[in-house]
Amino acid sequence: MSQETKTRKTNIVLALFVNARGFGIAVLEDALTVLNAYNVVLHSYPICNNKVLEKIKEKIDFYLPSVVILEDASGYGSRKSKRVKKMISLIEEYAQKTSLPINKYSRNDIRFVFSSFNAHSKYEIAKVITENVKQLPVSLPKKRKSHEPEHYSMSIFDAIALGITHYYQS
């Protein structure tokens, strides 16, 4: 299908949470309707931004969202690496080329939205999401201890939290 014949779906929001291992993706129809959510984990190291960008382009072309939501890597509370910051800027460049609107929200924006649910940590936010969003494709991993690494499926909840933040702040 050529670029001219593709039409954006008016109510589809694509939230992408880029991290060190790949990215989490959430496709939302509204704040509590998650159509699809999953992880894309790259197993080849070192992770190359070009490979991640190709995967993200595939997802954008498949879902044809009306807007893409990203984390504001320069916002207060963000602790992204240089590679991930570069990846986010590459996604923004691609979106500009395809005239796709992008909204960015910082970790503080997400925490502000979820503070009304008395959720402040990533785990508490994920717990609120599982309690309020039905038909999630993934279950909430157990709460991690301080010496344990973050479970890879948490990026799915991070992407959903970005999408929900978009609906509450727009």
- pLDDT digits (tens), the chain, 170 positions: 444 446 666 789 999 999 888 899 999 999 888 998 888 887 767 778 888 899 999 999 999 999 999 999 887 777 888 888 899 999 999 999 999 999 999 999 999 999 999 999 999 999 999 999 887 877 888 888 888 877 778 999 999 999 999 999 97
Q: Please report the pLDDT score of residue 98 as a whole number.
A: 92
Task: Enumerate the domain spans of the chain.
Answer: 3-169
* C-alpha to C-alpha distance for 96 and 83, rounded to whole angstroms: 20
Q: What's the pLDDT score for residue 4?
A: 43
Q: Which residues contact 47 (CB under 8 A, 6 or more apart)?
A: 20, 21, 22, 83
What pLDDT, on a 0 to 100 scale, did the predictor assign at position 170? 79
Whole-number pLDDT of residue 149: 78
Both tokens assigned to 150: 């973050």
What pLDDT score does 134 carry? 81
CA 18, CA 71: separation in Å to the nearest integer?
8
Structure tokens at 142: 């157990």
Q: What is the pLDDT of residue 6?
A: 64
Determine contact, residues 5/141, Cβ cutoff 8 Å: no
Could you tell me the CA-to-CA distances from 118 to 15, 104, 128 in Å, in that order?
A: 23, 23, 9
Query: 3-169: what fold?
Result: Nucleotidyltransferase; domain 5 (3.30.420)
Residue 109: per-residue pLDDT: 93
User: Whole-prediction pTM value?
Assistant: 0.89
